[in-house]
Amino acid sequence: MDNQQVGLSRPTSETKQGKVEGLMDNKYSPVCKQINLSKETIEFIVGTMFGDGHLSKISKNARIQLTHGDPQKFYIDHKADILKEICPNGVKTKLIFDKRNNKKYISHTLCSYNNRQLTELYQIFYPYKKKKITSKALDLLTDKGLAYFYMDDGGLGKYRFPNGRVAVDLYLNTYWTDEEHEIFIDFIFKKYEILFKKVKNKGKYRLRIGKKEAPKFIKIVQPYILENFKYKIDLL
């Protein structure tokens, strides 16, 4: 099934909410014979694919897998509720032994059934069987999706100087290639007029905005931020 069949190449109304309609509109194509995912579910999946999400395809169709540690059990339970139609088995918990430090960790994993709409997303996010951030993927990123990306891989740092001045760093732990960073920076600036900068961290690069741009970003994602992640949008 090519992209045109699911409406990915056909004209869509481009708004700040992105272009996700073609992926879930059975009016144009029988996208998913098992479960027809809602627009809201696809917005979430797209957002988390920029963050912690992983799609795999070992048969005709793809599936999504999400994993979080025990401190974020609430978060994977939230994701399980969103994906309950394609993840009827719920969250699986297991004990992981890390040989590097001889410690045990609790891991929570959510894995879906195979789904044709997930296959369409797999083709977008894994054009060469390896996850890659492209303009085509960014075209599907909505405000809600951006919020889930931020909850997955973002953070807020605040530093108060002796004179009372407060410095703010809002960052996305991307660690992508230079090309992927540039595509994302350009996309966010054109869509929201927010200018991220690439900064070095632990030998790799992530994205950062400061006190001037952070309030604009937070205003966009705030309606979708979970209560447990409110500290990520607290500028005070």
Instruction: Walk me through the domains of the chain, giving residue ranges and CATH numbers.
Output: 3-127 (3.10.28.10), 148-233 (3.10.28.10)
Phi, psi angles (nearest 5°) of residue 89: -85, -10
State the Cα–Cα distance between residues 150 and 157, nearest whole angstrom: 14
What is the distance, to the nearest Å, from the Cα of residue 40 to the centroid of all Cα atoms in its chain? 13
- Name the packing angle between helices 143-153 and 39-49 (round to 10°): 40
Q: Which amino acid is at 9?
A: S
Beta strand pairing call for 92-98 and 154-160? unpaired
Q: Which helix (H) or strand (E) holds 119?
A: helix 116-125
What is the length of the chain? 236
Tell me which DSSP letter residue 62 carries. Answer: B
- Which contiguous run of DSSP H or E holds residue 68? strand 63-69
CA 121 centroid distance within chain: 12
Q: 171: helix, coil or strand? A: strand
Residue 2: its pLDDT value, please? 38
Q: What is the pTM of this model?
A: 0.84
Per residue of the chain (236 residues), what is the pLDDT tens digit? 333 333 333 333 344 455 555 454 433 233 334 688 999 999 999 999 999 999 999 889 999 999 999 999 999 999 999 999 999 999 999 999 888 889 999 999 999 999 999 999 999 999 999 999 999 999 999 999 999 999 999 999 988 888 878 889 999 999 999 999 999 999 999 999 999 999 999 889 999 999 999 999 999 999 999 999 999 999 87
**Token pair for residue 125?**
């996010």
Secondary structure of residue 99 in the 3-state scheme: coil
Which is it for the CA torsion 169, 174, 175, 178, positive or negative?
Answer: negative
CA proximity to 112, closest of 174, 47, 59, 173: 59
Closest CA to 20 of 110, 100, 117, 92: 117
**At 77, which amino acid appears?**
D
Tell me the C-alpha distance between 160 and 15, whole Å.
Answer: 38
Between CA 44 and CA 76 the distance in angstroms is 13
